[in-house]
Amino acid sequence: MASISLKDLVKTYGDVEVLHHVEGEIQDGELIVIVGPSGCGKSTLLRMVAGLETVTSGEISIGDKVVNKLEPADRDIAMVFQNYALYPHMSVRENMAYGLKIRKISKDEIDRRVQEAAEILEIGAYLDRKPRQLSGGQRQRVAMGRAIVRNPQVFLFDEPLSNLDAKLRVQMRLEIRKLQQRLGVTSIYVTHDQVEAMTLGDRLMVLNGGYVEQFGTPIELYDRPATVFVAGFIGSPSMNFLPVEASGGTLALANGATLTGGTQASGKVTLGVRPEHLVQDDTGEIRITVQMVEQLGANTLIHGLLEGSDTEFVASAAGHVTAQAGTLMSFTAAAEDLHIFDATSGKRIDA
């Protein structure tokens, strides 16, 4: 078990810098999710920790050992790949034992560890099968098993669930979480799925274009997003953004109505408000022209255009709400649910 520390990490390919001065401290036993859109550098970062990519500058330490120059095998890590990367010609048992065999661990010890991991993952019944005879979910478990038997200090997961169907993904997500808590191994998990990130991670590192946008607990990210990008990325459906004019603690909307925002900022700012924080109120300041209504059962999504502008807007109301396209609906939101961001830099402006 170990902590991981990333100091001023930079990665360049030729002249292109793909990771810019990434910093992060990961505590012993934590599960960190690195999340971001495709091409944001999240897999590159993970592969740098694994030792599969070189570090251009900066420092990666596992425990109190700087591992920049160490081979992957010497870093005491285990990795689960997106396509599992099981050796197709070896049985499940051989796949799990391969790394131990190379480390010249005694046969009895290997058998014991494989058996133990197989019990934890409930794959004992197919230890002697080849990977091609297994379903996607079973292969996923074998890949995890291969990581567990190594008894490493760190688990690295590279989008391990993206090849599974939706239902299995939810199930495996919970299992990974339970397993990680039970084993208490420090883990880094890469995904592009924000729901997966929110449910799995102790803390989330949101990457965008090679920059760390925010690094914090899921609730912090949800309640106090540091940038417009994080605010839009975390939460589903994503946050509504509208340009407003701030002055003296009030925010003027495009339709002329004003909200009490409790901000000291003035001038043009971006107001963010989550669909689920909008409360239907006939005297509300936020009025939208309804375009489409999505009935999801537990709640209803109302899509429309903000009055007086062509900003698209989504509101989420609990239960069943009926609304005709073309009618006007009014909403209000509590002052603490309004997020104010700088209009140009996209950074959060706190009250």
Partner 1 sequence: MVENRRILGIVSHLVLILGVIMVALPIWITFVASTHDAVRMTQAPIPMLPGTHFFENFKQTLFGAGLSGSEGAPVWRMLLNSMAMALMIAFGKIAISLLSAFAIVYFKFPFRMGFFWMIFITLMLPVEVRILPTFEVVANLGMLNSYWGLSIPLIASATATFMFRQVFLTIPDEMLESARIDGAGPLRFFWDILIPLSRTNIAALFVILFIYGWNQYLWPLLITTDTDMTTIVMSIKQMLEAAEQSPQWNIIMMTALLAMIPPVFVVVGMQRLFVQGLTETDK
The structure tokens 């790394």 sit at: 99
CB closer to partner 1 out of 81 and 336: 81
Q: Closest Cα partner for 213 from 341, 331, 113?
A: 341
DSSP state of 249: T
Cα(250)–Cα(264) distance, integer angstroms: 9
Site for partner 1 in 94-113 (CB under 8 A): 98-99, 102-103
| Among the listed residues 10, 66, 70, 85, the single contact to partner 1 using CB under 8 A | 85
Q: How far apart are the C-alpha atoms of 58 and 62, rounded to whole Å?
A: 14
Only segment of 75-83, 246-254, 264-272, 309-317 that touches partner 1 (CB under 8 A): 75-83
Q: How far is CA 219 from CA 100, 197, 198, 201, 235, in A?
A: 40, 12, 8, 11, 10
Contact residue for partner 1 among 9, 49, 79, 198 (CB under 8 A) = 79
Stretch that binds partner 1, among 8-16, 57-65, 85-93, 317-325 (CB under 8 A): 85-93
What angle, rounded to 10 degrees, do the helices at 92-102 and 107-121 form? 140
Site for partner 1 in 115-154 (CB under 8 A): 132
| Span from 80-88, 208-216, 235-243, 284-292 in contact with partner 1 (CB under 8 A) | 80-88
Position 87 contacts partner 1 (CB under 8 A): yes
Q: Decide if 92 contacts 98 (C-beta within 8 A).
A: no
Contact between 81 and partner 1 by CB under 8 A: the answer reads: yes
Binning the chain into helix, strand and coil, the percentages to the nearest 5 are 30, 35, 35
Asked if 52 is part of the footprint of partner 1 (rule: CB under 8 A), the reply reads yes
Q: Which residues contact 17 (CB under 8 A, 6 or more apart)?
A: 10, 11, 210
Nearer to partner 1, 99 or 232 (CB): 99
11 or 203: CB nearest partner 1: 11
- Is 2 among the residues that bind partner 1 (CB under 8 A)? no
Alpha helices (H) along 250-345: none
Binding residues for partner 1, rule CB under 8 A, total 21
Q: Site residues (CB under 8 A) for partner 1?
A: 50-52, 71-73, 77-79, 81-83, 85, 87-89, 98-99, 102-103, 132
